[in-house]
Structure 1
Amino acid sequence: MMYGEDGMKKILLITTGGTIASEPTEEGLAPTLTSGELYALLGGITTNYEVETYDLFHLDSSNIQPEEWQQIAGCIAQRYRNYDGIVLTHGTDTMAYTSSILSFMLRDIPIPVVITGSQLPILHPLSDALENLRGAFAMAASGAPGVFVVFNRKVIFGTRAVKIRTTGFDAFESVNSEYAAVINAQGLQMLYKPVMPVNEFCLEDKLCGDVFLIKLTPGLNPEIFDMLLQMNYKGIVIEAFGAGGLHFIRRDLISKLQKIVESGITVVVCSQCLYERSDFSIYQAGQKALEKGAVQGYDMTTEAAVTKLMWALGKNSAPAEVRKEFATNYVGEITL
């Protein structure tokens, strides 16, 4: 542990923008506050920690893309050894994508990396920012290794967080997994037993951004797959119907899927349903998809499936190798 003065835990606060750092402008809310300005507004919630700040971006999270993910991961990889934990402030709209991809890129990170933000700017008198930051600092000082999202007194594993509300303070939910911890009258209450990584930390930041997400609708034109093939996409995630189904009467998605797979594109199939696992072996339509080479996503969130496919393709684009990656549970992202 990297104790600072008076034995306090050392926490690095990295800011990337988002609502939490926004102020009103003529064009609407825009992230303008620096990390120093944000820190100055925290008052007594950092009294028990030695905090250093780092300004990384001033971006709306809609503009945080794979290039920014690599910069965030690189920033953490360069600095984590000097701290007991890291708090990363981030816009809420793509927070679940960032928490998922960082979970894969920061392999065996030995300290907590905690992502949080707010639904109202920290300068707003009724903002949820201070409450979320209070929880984030507590989790960052907990010693539990890994990537987490802290929001509304809940601590969620990075690959299980999903934004479910656009404006409500209870904006994130843990999908198909228990919370990592909750904050209540007993303080920070851990709901699992943290395990320190056996292996040394490794930054795995090569990504393939050529991944497309399709949400099936009844009657979807199969020719969309021809377009994706022409656009040189390397991976596709399909949100299918229910436990796992694609239509093959009149508009035959199954045959097109076979063409895509034979062209060397990895296709991951999961469910449009938010909760519970998909299983494409149950119905005829799902079995046909598996026969043509689709890879099952089971109970993964869409955010985790998309980012894991980007990460896996970045390491090795061979479909057989990507299939092996999806048959491996690295950070609790999938129940096999």
Structure 2
Amino acid sequence: MKKILFIATGGTIASAKSENGLTPALTSEELLSAVPEICTLCTVDTVQPYSLDSTNMCWRQWVHLAEIIRDGYEKYDGFVIAHGTDTMAYAAATMSYLVQGNLKPIVFTGAQKSIEVPDGDARRNLFEAFAYAADDRACGTHVVFNSHVIAGTRARKTHSKSFDAFSSIDYPDIGVFFDRKLFCYIDERPECGAVRFYDRLVPEILSVRVIPGMDPSIFDYINANCRGVVIESFGVGGIPYYGDNAFEEKIAAMMENGVRVVITTQVPHEGSNLSVYRVGHIIKEKYRVLEASSMTTEAVIAKMMWALAYSDSRESFERLFTRPVGKDKLENS
């Protein structure tokens, strides 16, 4: 029987009522005791480094979680992380870069309702997370939620209240559960191999959503205070020209100052292609601005934090950022 480490961090799944609303309160042992069938799947050790609403989780905690996994990698066959849903997509994407090539699965799960709610989704999600982690076909980093197995770099929270909270953006589910049985659609094991752990991220980045008529002077702040910026543009990508070159000049100034710039799209599906329209083609050809292409915004942000930590030049950053990791970039993108 496989041995799985259960890492509890709080979130709705572990929440209880308080005078100020729901707050994480239940322990990892209490979560496990609510789903006794898990003991038929694997043996479990538990650790609880945090008890946080995931709104309060960030890169510091995710680096720590990667360290816990690194320290237990030889001892355990897989890892299940109970995490709040609000930042789970960012967490799973970040873990996909902090731990690469892992044959042993890292599985994020959580719930839209507390595990204390009898007709909620917590018990099913927790059981299926362990069922996937204990399966011989499992590897890499994934989100298991509402019977879907989603690659960590493709997950996005698309529903704020319903049980079907997460979607796989522009990539099929890795597998699904039906009547507690796992059906895998994609064999990922050939892509996994020698595990590599990373322990640094650069958090001084900002994501800016372009709106019609916005003042580009916001980029002056970014130029003075940030190491990188993700520009969420319209359609397939581009920057506005409102009778002048203000946006273009601000981007050129940031790049000249060593700020890494990546352009993505606000559109949920099908990615960016700066070559299509003049508003994108100019900055791509003139300044060699990087674009997200098929990557999700969550993956772009996570990968930028990782690539900044392990690069010392524009060229080395570009090499790391454009190298596919964990299905973050689709073929021909």
- Give the shorter-chain TM-score range: over 0.9
CA deviation after TM superposition for structure 1 residue 331, in Å: 1.1
Which structure has the highest strand share of the two? 1
CA deviation after TM superposition for structure 1 residue 277, in Å: 2.1
The answer as to whether partners of 1:145 and 1:196 remain within 8 angstroms in 2 is no
The answer as to whether partners of 2:7 and 2:81 remain within 8 angstroms in 1 is yes
The answer as to whether partners of 2:153 and 2:326 remain within 8 angstroms in 1 is yes
Name the counterpart of 2:114.
Answer: 121
Name the counterpart of 1:3.
Answer: none
Instruction: Give the counterpart letter for 1:299 in structure 2.
Output: S
Instruction: Give the counterpart letter for 2:147 in structure 1.
Output: R
Report the more deviating stretch, 192-201 or 293-302. Answer: 192-201
Give, in whole Å, the separation in 1 of the partners of 2:159 and 2:291.
Answer: 27
Listed one character per residue, the Cα deviations across residues 272-319 of structure 1 (whole Å, up to 9, x for unaligned) are 111102100000000122122310110111000000000000111422
* 1:136-285 paired onto structure 2 within 5 Å: 136-143=129-136, 144-185=138-179, 187-196=181-190, 199-231=193-225, 233-250=226-243, 252-285=246-279
CA deviation after TM superposition for structure 1 residue 142, in Å: 1.5
Calculate the TM-score normalised by the size of structure 2: 0.95
- Quick check: 1:56 aligned with 2:44? no
Report the more deviating stretch, 241-250 or 262-271. Answer: 241-250
* 1:84-95 paired onto structure 2 within 5 Å: 84-95=77-88
Aligned residue for 2:22, secondary structure, equals strand
Name the counterpart of 2:5.
Answer: 12
Instruction: Give the counterpart letter for 2:266 in structure 1.
Output: Q
The answer as to whether partners of 2:7 and 2:79 remain within 8 angstroms in 1 is yes
CA deviation after TM superposition for structure 1 residue 26, in Å: 1.1
The answer as to whether partners of 1:22 and 1:29 remain within 8 angstroms in 2 is yes
Give, in whole Å, the separation in 2 of the partners of 1:18 and 1:72.
Answer: 15
Report the more deviating stretch, 294-303 or 33-42. Answer: 33-42
Aligned residue for 2:130, secondary structure, equals helix
Aligned residue for 1:28, secondary structure, equals coil
Report the more deviating stretch, 113-122 or 101-110. Answer: 101-110
Give, in whole Å, the separation in 2 of the partners of 1:77 and 1:250.
Answer: 53
Name the counterpart of 2:300.
Answer: 305
Name the counterpart of 1:316.
Answer: 311
Instruction: Give the counterpart letter for 1:17 in structure 2.
Output: G
CA deviation after TM superposition for structure 1 residue 250, in Å: 3.5
Give, in whole Å, the separation in 1 of the partners of 2:60 and 2:33.
Answer: 29
Aligned residue for 1:260, secondary structure, equals helix
The answer as to whether partners of 1:9 and 1:141 remain within 8 angstroms in 2 is yes
Instruction: Give the counterpart letter for 2:88 in structure 1.
Output: M
- Quick check: 1:330 aligned with 2:329? no
What is the RMSD of the two structures over their aligned residues, measured on CA atoms?
A: 1.4
Give, in whole Å, the separation in 1 of the partners of 2:146 and 2:41.
Answer: 21
Instruction: Give the counterpart letter for 1:294 in structure 2.
Output: V
Give, in whole Å, the separation in 1 of the partners of 2:41 and 2:103.
Answer: 21
Instruction: Give the counterpart letter for 1:257 in structure 2.
Output: I
CA deviation after TM superposition for structure 1 residue 52, in Å: 1.4
Give, in whole Å, the separation in 1 of the partners of 2:190 and 2:297.
Answer: 27
Identity within the alignment, % = 37
Aligned residue for 1:11, secondary structure, equals strand
Aligned residue for 1:81, secondary structure, equals coil
Listed one character per residue, the Cα deviations across residues 105-156 of structure 1 (whole Å, up to 9, x for unaligned) are 0021220111000000101122200111111011101232100000100000
Aligned residue for 2:250, secondary structure, equals helix
Give, in whole Å, the separation in 2 of the partners of 1:220 and 1:321.
Answer: 32
The answer as to whether partners of 1:265 and 1:319 remain within 8 angstroms in 2 is no
Shift in alpha-carbon separation, 1:64–1:111, aligned structure 2, 3 A: same
Give, in whole Å, the separation in 2 of the partners of 1:198 and 1:303.
Answer: 22
Name the counterpart of 2:96.
Answer: 103
Aligned residue for 1:97, secondary structure, equals helix
CA deviation after TM superposition for structure 1 residue 80, in Å: 2.1
Give, in whole Å, the separation in 1 of the partners of 2:43 and 2:316.
Answer: 43
Give, in whole Å, the separation in 2 of the partners of 1:188 and 1:126.
Answer: 22
The answer as to whether partners of 2:102 and 2:193 remain within 8 angstroms in 1 is no
The answer as to whether partners of 2:41 and 2:130 remain within 8 angstroms in 1 is no
Report the more deviating stretch, 247-256 or 206-215. Answer: 247-256
Runs of 5+ consecutive residues of structure 2 not aligned to the other structure: none
The answer as to whether partners of 1:222 and 1:253 remain within 8 angstroms in 2 is yes
Give, in whole Å, the separation in 1 of the partners of 2:220 and 2:133.
Answer: 46
Aligned residue for 2:45, secondary structure, equals strand
CA deviation after TM superposition for structure 1 residue 198, in Å: 6.1
Give, in whole Å, the separation in 2 of the partners of 1:256 and 1:31.
Answer: 43
